[in-house]
């Protein structure tokens, strides 16, 4: 019987418990690293599984309220451990924004810093709508890139602990493919305005394979990023810094609301389970 089970409310402490159980069961087959700690002291974890030459990076939980993808990635990781593809090594970062995730799944009262909690509560949104980190910063607009925009006077690209942890992970490893899972829309964002035509042609070819595997729609170039909020996404940073194929994959239908329906987790897994293995198909 598997350790990670889908179609349940999956809290941060449950994830940590599953990590411990996975390590006990699989030993050296799973390499667990703490790549950073949040301002509230929570662990930002990465997991390397497999011994193949093709190295794929998967991330989820960049936005706190997108709570279904972290458990799906944990489940996917266990399935890979049970039946590895020997050509691949996969690095999982299922929850890049633990503080935001805890807020969105458990409430503002779970924040340890009282000053930050008061600030968050003053935003006037329901806790389950929270997508930022504990400091109220959208991580997916915080990465250095040519399209990054200053939105407030004290904005600094790469300022957040979560951002720095992810950047350090990427700098220390040579990945061949990067997939960042978000929600909603069942869409594939592939086009990078700041990359060359050759790069985007390869992106499009891989996007077509992702579409075939998942059934998701390909987003046209003009919708790559919101003009008002600019770039600074994970994929902008990775594509510009390392030149590797990088995709934002939006799971779940556009009309899906928050808090997210846990009954959709199994369907998400079935849609995305084959996407990490597209690299050698192009």
In eight-state DSSP terms, residue 233 is -
pLDDT at 7 over 60: yes
**For residue 245, is it left (φ>0), alpha (ψ between -120 and 50) or beta?**
beta
pLDDT of residue 225: 63
pLDDT at 281 over 80: no
Domain annotation for the chain: domains and CATH numbers:
12-46+63-192+206-255+266-281 (3.40.630.10)
Give the SS3 label for residue 216: coil
Q: Is the peptide bond before 259 cis (omega within 30 degrees of 0)?
A: yes
pLDDT of residue 59: 98
Alpha helices in the chain (DSSP H): 12-26, 68-82, 98-106, 114-121, 161-172, 197-214, 234-242, 265-272
9 vs 43: CA distance, rounded Å: 20
pLDDT of residue 255: 83
118 vs 20: CA distance, rounded Å: 33
pLDDT at 88 over 70: yes
Confidence of residue 42 (pLDDT cuts 50, 70, 90): very high
Q: What are phi and psi of 261, to 5 degrees?
A: -75, 115
Q: Which of 227, 206, 229 is nearest to 63 (CA)?
A: 229
Secondary structure tally for the chain: helices H, strands E: 8, 8
**For residue 199, is it left (φ>0), alpha (ψ between -120 and 50) or beta?**
alpha
pLDDT of residue 279: 87
86 vs 120: CA distance, rounded Å: 45
Joined together, the tokens standing for residue 194 give 């700041």
pLDDT digits (tens, 9 = 90+) for 61-76: 999 999 999 999 999 9
Burial 244-273 (b: 16+ CB within 10 A, else e): bbbbbbbbbeeebebebeeebbebbbebbb
- For residues 266 and 273, the answer to whether their CB atoms sit within 8 Å is no
Confidence of residue 213 (pLDDT cuts 50, 70, 90): very high
pLDDT at 11 over 60: yes
* Radius of gyration of the CA atoms of the chain, in A: 18
pLDDT at 234 over 70: yes
Q: What are phi and psi of 120, to 5 degrees?
A: -65, -45
Q: Which of 95, 120, 110, 121 is nearest to 37 (CA)?
A: 95
Beta partners for residue 187, in sequence order:
217, 250
Mean pLDDT score of the chain: 95
Residues 6+ apart with CB under 8 A from 193: 147, 221, 224, 225
Confidence of residue 226 (pLDDT cuts 50, 70, 90): low
Burial 91-111 (b: 16+ CB within 10 A, else e): bbbbbbbbbbbbbbbbebeeb
Other beta carbons less than 10 A from residue 41's beta carbon? 10
């Amino acid at each position: 019987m598997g350790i990670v089970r889908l179609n349940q409310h999956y809290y941060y402490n449950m994830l940590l418990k599953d990590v411990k159980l996975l390590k006990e069961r699989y030993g050296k087959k799973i390499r667990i690293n703490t790549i950073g700690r949040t301002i509230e002291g929570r662990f930002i974890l990465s997991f390397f599984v497999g011994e193949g030459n093709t190295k794929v990076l998967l991330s989820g939980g960049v936005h706190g309220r997108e709570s279904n993808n972290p458990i799906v990635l944990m489940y996917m990781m266990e399935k890979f451990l049970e039946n590895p593809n020997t050509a691949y090594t996969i690095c999982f970062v299922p929850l890049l924004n633990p503080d935001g995730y805890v807020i969105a799944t458990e409430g503002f009262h779970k924040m340890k810093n009282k000053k930050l909690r008061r600030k968050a509560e003053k935003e006037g949104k329901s806790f389950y709508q929270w997508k930022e980190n504990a400091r109220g910063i959208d991580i997916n607009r915080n990465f250095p890139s040519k399209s990054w925009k200053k939105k407030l006077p004290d904005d600094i690209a790469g300022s957040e602990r979560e951002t720095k942890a992810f950047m350090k992970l990427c700098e220390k490893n040579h990945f061949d493919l990067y997939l960042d899972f978000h929600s909603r829309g069942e869409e594939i964002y592939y086009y990078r305005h700041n990359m060359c035509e050759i790069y985007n042609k390869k992106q499009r070819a891989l996007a077509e394979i992702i579409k075939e595997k998942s059934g998701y729609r390909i987003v046209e170039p003009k919708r790559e990023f919101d003009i008002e909020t600019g770039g600074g996404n994970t994929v902008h940073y990775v594509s510009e810094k390392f030149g590797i194929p990088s995709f934002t994959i939006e799971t779940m239908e556009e009309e899906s609301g928050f808090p997210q329906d846990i009954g959709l987790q199994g369907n998400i897994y079935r849609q995305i389970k084959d996407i990490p293995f597209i690299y050698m198909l192009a």
